């Protein structure tokens, strides 16, 4: 597989693609509705509201109500996209997500807007780095983290028709286009770059950085495979097992705590195989962030291209 | 998923027709008798299982019986019928009362009640919509039923459906803030297709509600949130029937049903310890005799 063309100069806020696709879907299917917690602007739903005023249900600043209302709509045949800033959607309404959505098997699409540390200087109250750990622990809930606008669009389209409880992380921090013409495939990792020494498994904002890191590592003679793991749960375990046999180590990179998100999910596969490979888990290690912009915080927590490159090269040069 | 019992469903249909044709005294007697049969069934379920929430079950059974046997437009043999009325038991810990009621209406065979809370039974300690027909959403943690019911009422509006949404809340449960978020939404959106019924027995798990975290004046609270409020004797079947079917304005309706926890069993009535105490075999015999009167 050849390396995709990336143009890091141009970057995108995935919420734009999200909102455009949601409106397009709503034109096709009158069962599509949006539910939000006063977040019409921050969820980028202003145009949706103008076009479908009756189908935007804004419950105000009330996340538990928002998720319950979403479940009630889903159980009545609608396809609700429940949108709120990810820290409040997942933290405030976690029990509703567990009981009303996942356990009740109500096909709500939970849209965690501006996840990770997208709110930068607003601080840990507004960061959503625990969401992947929390939600991955809930049975029957799909956890999806698109990497760029194109993948966001196809994930939104998938979620609308999947008829399953799902969580989509919709990024605000601008990212380059990296997935090209490869659409989101639920439950499947996408190999964005093949390699033979080390595999980097990345999600969301980390995917473009992993690709750049692989490019730089190649210049130093290390061949890095890059997997875009846009479905965190259920995990594409076969892709991990292939990475274990076809490369010699695995780096995971996520804008989230490493306690239970992507890294922990991959590690759980690796350590239960007959011949585990060494791993590096990049992410946030149970720490509240200091003050700073998103870019600063990603650097602070070792989530830059250089950090990923170093981790990969380090693993490649480790004698197994 | 359990399936309907056609014979019992046919009996239920005959009951509904007879109720429609009957005069007030006969109606009252029909529902009283039916509710007490469910109370007895529930006591036996709890005795067999060795667990349950008997006090709240006895408290809510006149409400549930009135709804399922004289109000709700549902079909036990077509539990997925799109335009059915929706019923949500937010106080999910009184699942035993709901199961006894659903079985009596033919949603599933009454023999299934013997499995209550047993290994792999569809009848869990809290209701599961995926396994039990007639259950609309999974409840158990308190404060969940009203927001989901508001979503169902919004859906009814969007679909221009005539269906009505009924949700039964425990009174202690109203200490959960999520209820008031949802109450605000229902009032704001003037969801006249929504009726919330509060099982106001004034006892919560460990004490009286008013000694724990005051709920009164409950009627004024709901009115302030934009609801019409009716207050009735929650064991007067005809008063309940009238409240559940009263002409509606352009607001959601809250029916405060004043009830007695443990109702119908003399030694349980208004006694806090019967929240989830399990009656002995002897006590079940005594209670059943009282309920058969």
Please provide the CATH number assigned to the domain covering B6-292. 3.40.50.970
What does the alpha-carbon distance between residue A83 and residue A18 come to, in Å, rounded to a whole number?
A: 11
Whether ipTM > 0.95 holds is: yes
Q: Taking residues B90-116, what's their average pLDDT?
A: 98
Q: Which pLDDT score is estimated for B293?
A: 87
Please provide the CATH number assigned to the domain covering A14-170. 3.40.50.970
Query: What size, in residues, is chain A?
Result: 320
Residue range A47-75, pLDDT digits in tens: 999 999 999 999 999 999 999 999 999 99
Q: Which pLDDT score is estimated for A239?
A: 98
Percent of chain A with pLDDT over 70: 97
- CB nearest B147 (choices: A69, A74, A77): A69
Q: Is the pTM of this model over 0.90?
A: yes
Q: Do B151 and A95 touch (CB under 8 A)?
A: no
Percent of chain B with pLDDT over 70: 100
Percent of chain A with pLDDT over 90: 94
pLDDT band for position B44 (cuts 50, 70, 90): very high
Q: Taking residues A9-30, what's their average pLDDT?
A: 96
Q: Which pLDDT score is estimated for B85?
A: 98
Torsion B114-B119-B120-B124 (CA) sign: positive
Q: Taking residues A251-265, what's their average pLDDT?
A: 98
DSSP bridge partners of A193: A226
pLDDT band for position A1 (cuts 50, 70, 90): very low
User: Does A236 score more than 80 pLDDT?
Assistant: yes
β-strands B228-233, A109-113 pairing: unpaired
Of the residues B92, B145, B147, the best mutation for testing chain A's interface (the one with the most A CB atoms within 10 Å of its CB) is B147
A40 touches chain B (CB under 8 A): no
Mean pLDDT, chain A, whole residue set: 96
Query: Which residue in this structure is represented by tokens 């995990």?
Result: A235
pLDDT band for position A2 (cuts 50, 70, 90): very low
Using a CB-CB distance cutoff of 8 angstroms, which residues of chain B are in contact with residue A164?
none
A57 touches chain B (CB under 8 A): yes
A76 to chain B, minimum CA–CA distance in Å? 6
Q: Do A64 and B177 touch (CB under 8 A)?
A: yes
Q: Taking residues A149-162, what's their average pLDDT?
A: 98
The domain defined by A190-316 carries CATH number 3.40.640.10:
no
- CB nearest B148 (choices: A55, A71, A103): A71
Of the residues A65, A71, A79, A96, the best mutation for testing chain B's interface (the one with the most B CB atoms within 10 Å of its CB) is A65
Residue of A nearest to B136 (CA): A75
A104 to chain B, minimum CA–CA distance in Å? 5
Query: Which residue in this structure is represented by tokens 């460990």?
Result: B206
A196 and A170 Cβ atoms separated by less than 8 Å: no
B77 to chain A, minimum CA–CA distance in Å? 18
Residue range A174-188, pLDDT digits in tens: 999 999 989 999 999
Q: Which pLDDT score is estimated for A318?
A: 81
Percent of chain B with pLDDT over 90: 100
Query: E strand or H helix at B97, and its extent?
Result: helix B95-104
- CB nearest B182 (choices: A68, A73, A104): A68
What does the alpha-carbon distance between residue B194 and residue B178 come to, in Å, rounded to a whole number?
A: 17
- CB nearest B152 (choices: A60, A76, A95): A76
Closest CA to A94 of A76, A81, A110: A110
What does the alpha-carbon distance between residue A233 and residue A225 come to, in Å, rounded to a whole number?
A: 21
A167 touches chain B (CB under 8 A): no
Using a CB-CB distance cutoff of 8 angstroms, which residues of chain B are in contact with residue A71?
137, 147-148, 151
pLDDT band for position A7 (cuts 50, 70, 90): low
B148 touches chain A (CB under 8 A): yes
Q: Which pLDDT score is estimated for A43?
A: 87
β-strands A224-228, A190-193 pairing: antiparallel
B125 to chain A, minimum CA–CA distance in Å? 14
A119 touches chain B (CB under 8 A): no
β-strands A109-113, A166-170 pairing: parallel
Mean pLDDT, chain B, whole residue set: 97
B212 to chain A, minimum CA–CA distance in Å? 23
B284 and B44 Cβ atoms separated by less than 8 Å: yes
pLDDT band for position B270 (cuts 50, 70, 90): very high
Domain(s) labelled CATH 3.40.50.920 in chain A stretch across 190-316
Q: Do A68 and B159 touch (CB under 8 A)?
A: no
Q: Taking residues A31-40, what's their average pLDDT?
A: 96
Domains of chain B: which residue ranges? 6-292
């Amino acid at each position: 597989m050849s390396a995709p063309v990336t143009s890091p100069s141009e970057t995108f806020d995935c919420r734009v693609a999200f909102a455009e696709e949601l409106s397009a879907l709503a034109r096709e299917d009158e069962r599509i509705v949006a539910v939000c917690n006063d977040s019409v602007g921050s969820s980028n739903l202003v145009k949706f509201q103008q076009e479908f005023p009756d189908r935007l249900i804004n419950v105000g600043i009330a996340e538990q109500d928002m998720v319950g209302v979403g479940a009630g709509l889903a159980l009545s045949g609608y396809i609700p996209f429940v949108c709120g800033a990810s820290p409040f959607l997942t933290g405030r309404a976690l029990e509703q997500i567990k009981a009303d959505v996942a356990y009740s098997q109500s096909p709500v699409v939970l849209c965690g807007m501006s996840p990770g540390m997208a709110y930068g200087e607003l601080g840990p109250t507004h960061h959503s780095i625990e969401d992947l750990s929390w939600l991955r622990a809930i049975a029957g809930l799909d956890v999806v983290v698109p990497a760029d606008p194109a993948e966001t669009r196809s994930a939104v389209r998938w979620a609308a028709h999947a008829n399953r409880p799902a969580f989509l992380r919709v990024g605000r921090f601008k990212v380059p286009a990296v997935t090209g013409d490869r659409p989101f495939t639920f439950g499947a990792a996408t190999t964005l770059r093949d390699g033979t020494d080390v595999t980097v498994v990345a999600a969301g904002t980390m995917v473009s950085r992993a690709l750049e890191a692989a490019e730089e590592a190649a210049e130093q003679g290390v061949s890095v495979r890059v997997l875009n793991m846009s479905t965190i749960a259920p995990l594409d375990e076969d892709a991990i097992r292939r990475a274990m046999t076809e490369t010699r180590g695995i780096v995971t990179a996520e804008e989230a705590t490493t306690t239970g998100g992507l890294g922990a999910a991959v590690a759980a596969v690796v350590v239960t195989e007959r011949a585990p490979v060494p791993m590096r888990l990049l992410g946030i290690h149970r720490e509240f962030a200091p003050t700073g912009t998103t870019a600063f915080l990603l650097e602070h927590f070792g989530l830059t291209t250089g950090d990923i490159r170093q981790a990969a090269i380090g693993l490649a040069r480790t004698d197994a | 998923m359990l399936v309907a019992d056609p014979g019992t469903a046919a009996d239920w249909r005959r009951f509904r027709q007879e109720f429609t044709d009957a005069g007030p005294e006969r109606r009252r007697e029909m529902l009283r008798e039916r509710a007490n049969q469910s109370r007895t069934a529930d006591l036996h379920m709890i005795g067999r299982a060795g667990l349950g929430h008997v006090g709240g079950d006895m408290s809510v059974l006149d409400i549930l019986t009135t709804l399922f046997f004289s109000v709700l437009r549902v079909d036990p043999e077509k539990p997925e019928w799109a335009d059915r009325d929706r019923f949500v038991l937010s106080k999910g810990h009184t699942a035993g009362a709901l199961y006894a009621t659903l079985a009596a209406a033919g949603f599933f065979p009454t023999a299934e009640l013997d499995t209550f809370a047993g290994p792999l039974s569809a009848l869990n300690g809290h209701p599961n919509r995926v396994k039990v027909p007639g259950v609309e959403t999974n409840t158990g943690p308190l404060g969940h039923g009203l927001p989901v019911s508001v979503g169902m009422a919004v859906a009814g509006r969007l679909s221009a459906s005539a269906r009505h949404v009924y949700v039964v809340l425990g009174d202690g449960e109203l200490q959960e803030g999520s209820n008031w978020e949802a109450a605000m939404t229902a009032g704001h959106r003037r969801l006249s297709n929504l009726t919330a019924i509060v099982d106001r027995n004034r006892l919560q798990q460990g004490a009286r509600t008013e000694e724990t975290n005051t709920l009164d004046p409950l009627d004024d609270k709901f009115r302030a949130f934009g609801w019409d409020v009716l207050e009735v004797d929650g064991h007067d079947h005809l008063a309940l029937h009238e409240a559940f079917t009263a002409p509606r304005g352009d607001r959601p309706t809250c029916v405060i049903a004043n009830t007695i926890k443990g109702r119908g069993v003399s030694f349980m009535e208004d006694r806090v310890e019967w929240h989830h105490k399990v009656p002995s075999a002897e006590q079940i015999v005594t209670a059943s005799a009282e309920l058969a009167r």
